[in-house]
Amino acid sequence: MFNVLTFVVVACAAAVPQPQSDSFSLSVSRRVASEATLRENGLQVVELERRRSGSLMRREPIQSSFAVYSFVADIGVGSPATNYSVIVDTGSANTWVGAQKSYKRTATSKATGSSIYVSWGSGNTYVNAKEYYDQVTLSSSLVVASQQIGGATSTRGFDGFEGILGLGPTGLTDGSTTGKGEIPSISDNLFANKLIDSNTVGLAFVPQLNGSGIVVFGSQVPEGTIVGDITWSTITNSYPASAYWGIDARIAYGGRTFLTTAGAIDAGSTLINLSTDMFRKYQSATGAILDSSTGFLRVTSAQYAAMQPLEFVVEGRSFALPSNAQIWPRSLNTVIPGGVAGRIYLAVVDKGENSGEGLDFILGITFLERFYATYDVALGRIGLAETLYTNATSN
């Protein structure tokens, strides 16, 4: 079973619906899977990351339900609203509910006649859903009156989660629903209804066991969320990274450049995924060994003390992960199958393909717990900034 962490929806004063208001923050919490759940699914954490990476590469439906930990939000659907705990995901743009807790039709539910069926892997994980227009509530003062959502009729493999809040580019919805092309995302409709000042979505997570965070809708970042200015970069032209929150970056370790290439920021991934060639260079530079029990790289205390920053240089600015940000949270060692308390595992993994494929790195929650990331839909750009937790030592 998952350790369910509490979370609260916070509405800023500026979120009161009015023409072109400012921004709105939706609080999220980290939900951690138990070792039993992971063992039941029969997969190592690294293999789960690799499967998701492969789905992103092929623009296939993405396996989101078996992450070791994810960030979840509470949204209401219908009137009166039924609350659902949904995974925050930037690798998809559809929003659907009904896993674990059934989708409840109310007076605001209007069936479209279309259906959604998505399966992952060998079909052991799937969602079968009907499409509806329905009211979606993010707070008592911020309501999307008519949002296209999926109401699941049957699911498998979404233990502990009740759906997905899709925050990826709208193009990811194309072909997801029978007989339709793209459908507007939550962010699209918030902006179209003049509930936020800009079609912009931002993420800020906290790297602690009882981790929290926010999803920011609109251009105004809440005070205290970031340190310094946001650096903006046009979404990469390299495919398939261009289909997601894709950026071009120079990756370096200890001042030594590995590669300048394209990748993506993905809230549905847990770790830092590097192409095989970059991963091998990283392993060599750190002196880490591959731990056969977990699939993670492992270092000694002396090697950890000597570790250097892992840099992602975007538009000339370095977003560097200090040594503490490169390791798996030691408090969660025993959650991962094969993990041993006290050991130091690295949160950088091999994505399973060499560079040059258009998606050579994936920056998951490990990165988002240290840096604020935001997606400006209208201008097609990604923004990054440091936070109070960039150099935290909580791992």
Q: Which of 266, 291, 350, 376 is catalytic?
A: 266
Q: Is residue 53 part of a domain?
A: no
The answer on 152 and 259 residing in a single domain is no
pLDDT values of the chain reduced to their tens digit, one per residue, 395 residues: 233 222 233 333 233 333 345 679 999 999 876 555 555 554 567 777 777 776 677 655 544 444 678 899 999 999 999 999 999 999 888 899 999 899 999 999 999 999 987 665 445 567 889 999 999 999 887 899 999 999 999 987 777 789 999 999 999 888 777 778 889 999 999 999 999 999 999 999 999 877 899 999 999 999 999 999 999 999 999 999 999 999 999 999 999 999 999 999 999 889 999 999 999 999 999 999 999 999 999 999 999 999 999 999 999 999 999 999 999 999 989 888 889 999 999 999 999 999 999 999 999 999 999 999 999 999 999 999 999 999 999 99
* Domain count across the chain: 2
- The burial of 256, by beta-carbon neighbours within 10 Å (0-12 exposed, 13-18 middle, 19 or more buried), is given as exposed
The answer on 152 and 231 residing in a single domain is no
Instruction: Return left, alpha or beta for 157; rule: phi > 0 is left, psi -120 to 50 is alpha, else beta.
Output: left
The answer on 23 and 167 residing in a single domain is yes
The answer on 208 and 96 residing in a single domain is yes
What does pTM read for this prediction? 0.89
H runs (alpha helix) in the chain? 35-41, 45-58, 186-192, 276-286, 301-305, 365-368
The answer on 266 and 156 residing in a single domain is no
Q: Is residue 264 part of a domain?
A: yes
Q: Is residue 3 part of a domain?
A: no
Residue type, 174: D
Which helix (H) or strand (E) segment is 71 a member of? strand 69-77
The reply to whether 266 belongs to the active site is yes
d(CA 241, CA 318): 20
Q: Is residue 60 part of a domain?
A: no
Q: Is residue 394 part of a domain?
A: no
Boundary (domain end) residue, out of 190, 217, 244: 217
Boundary (domain end) residue, out of 217, 236, 264: 217
Boundary (domain end) residue, out of 161, 182, 217: 217
DSSP 241: G
Residue 371: name the closest of 382, 384, 360 by CA: 384
Q: Is residue 2 part of a domain?
A: no
Q: Is residue 98 part of a domain?
A: yes
The reply to whether 89 belongs to the active site is yes
Give the number of residues written for the chain.
Answer: 395
The answer on 269 and 145 residing in a single domain is no
Domain that holds residue 79: 13-33+68-217
